């Protein structure tokens, strides 16, 4: 490219980025653990408002963080008009999330790959076939997504169907009423039932935090889901009025930290819904690094549920390489 800057980016090594966290085996339900959570709204607002102002990530460091973010994206399509062809195009993007000329300009050791492709259960088969040989897992939403109000038997059957089609990760959604009624035993039994149904597949538990009414409820739901064996806790379905926000995410990662202190088990975190710009990817990575440490900058413990985000990351990386911003259509999803 005319005027391009040839640089060498050194994000996490392949060995580091592929490191697997141990499964969360869960614990019995300890209702007393839920009282550890306190939500000081002014302190939470102050902490999250200064995340990106106290730490500046610029130039080659920013490019490296953005390449690292690509590896943590669950590239997602969850639309009513999804088709196998749309899923195949999404999977093609998952195989090559960063344009080859940008990979070459950055002197990357290997092209990045996304953390997973996330689709509805009926689209899992198409995704698995399109990703054959790519070593990219397929995740599937299930359990009556997004409302979670279908009968338990139907929700379990949906999990089994997705797994039979080849899904390696299940993104389940909780029954919000259990949280709003403070029926922690019902929530625990629900998540534990899906954890058993998943077998070897990883379970991401969607809390739909925009429906939970308070940050204290968010903390309690996070702890119960982890006690029940969730391998990840996830903010949102992407269909609520309010999806991933930094204050909600701070409460959830503090719950992960408390659970680690209590059990020694690491649980992953996935913000989803509303993350569209490269600045969002940087902000959430800063949150993970400062609150939980470098282990949570890897796809084994951190995922971002998004689709449009990838286009802006490509655009920002191209700006770093060439010094110019390109049009959005140069970074289309398919």
Q: Is 259 helix (H, G, I), strand (E, B) or coil?
A: helix
Catalytic residues: 171, 234, 270
pTM: 0.92
The DSSP result for 40-83, as a single string, is: -HHHHHHHHHTHHHHS---HHHHHHHHHHHHTTEEEE---TT--
CA distances from 28 to 125, 241, 323 (A): 35, 33, 55
For residue 332, is it left (φ>0), alpha (ψ between -120 and 50) or beta? beta
pLDDT digits (tens, 9 = 90+) for 62-112: 999 999 999 999 999 999 999 999 999 999 999 999 999 999 999 998 999
> Tell me: the pLDDT tens digits for 102-153?
999 999 989 999 999 999 999 999 999 999 999 999 999 999 999 999 999 9
CA-CA-CA-CA dihedral for 58, 64, 65, 71, to nearest 10? 160
How wide is the angle at C-alpha 249 spanned by C-alphas 212 and 23, nearest 5°?
A: 95
pLDDT at 4 over 50: no
Domains of the chain (ranges, CATH numbers) = 36-331 (3.20.20.70)
Q: What is the DSSP letter of 114?
A: -
Q: What is the pLDDT of residue 182?
A: 97
Q: What percent of the chain has pLDDT over 70?
A: 91
């Amino acid at each position: 490219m005319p005027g391009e800057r040839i640089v060498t980016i050194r994000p996490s090594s392949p060995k580091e980025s592929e490191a697997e966290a141990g499964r969360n085996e869960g614990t019995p339900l300890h209702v007393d653990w839920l009282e550890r959570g306190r939500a000081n709204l002014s302190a939470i607002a102050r902490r999250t408002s200064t995340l990106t102002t106290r730490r500046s990530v610029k130039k080659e460091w920013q490019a490296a963080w953005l390449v690292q973010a690509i590896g943590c994206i669950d590239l997602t399509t969850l639309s009513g008009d999804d088709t196998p062809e749309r899923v195949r195009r999404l999977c093609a993007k998952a195989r090559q999330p960063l344009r080859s000329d940008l990979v070459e300009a950055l002197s990357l050791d290997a092209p990045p790959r996304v953390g997973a492709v996330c689709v509805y259960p009926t689209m899992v088969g198409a995704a698995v076939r399109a990703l054959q040989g790519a070593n990219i897992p397929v995740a599937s939403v299930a359990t009556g997504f997004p409302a979670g109000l279908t009968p338990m038997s139907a929700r379990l059957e949906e999990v089994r169907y997705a797994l039979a089609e080849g899904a390696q990760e299940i993104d389940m959604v909780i029954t919000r009423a259990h949280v709003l009624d403070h029926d922690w035993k019902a929530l625990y039994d629900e998540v534990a039932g899906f954890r058993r149904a998943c077998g070897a597949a990883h379970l991401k538990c969607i809390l739909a935090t925009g429906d939970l009414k308070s940050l204290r409820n968010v903390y309690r739901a996070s702890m119960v889901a982890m006690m029940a064996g969730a391998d990840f806790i996830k903010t949102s379905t992407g269909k609520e009025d309010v999806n991933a926000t930094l204050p909600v995410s701070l409460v959830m990662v503090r719950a992960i930290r408390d659970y680690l202190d209590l059990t020694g088990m690491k649980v992953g975190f996935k913000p989803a819904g509303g993350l569209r710009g490269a600045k969002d990817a940087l902000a959430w990575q800063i949150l993970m690094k400062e609150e939980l440490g470098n282990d949570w900058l890897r796809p084994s413990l951190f995922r971002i549920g998004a689709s449009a985000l990838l286009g802006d990351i490509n655009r920002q990386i191209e700006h770093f390489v060439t010094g110019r911003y390109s049009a959005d259509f140069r970074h289309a999803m398919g």
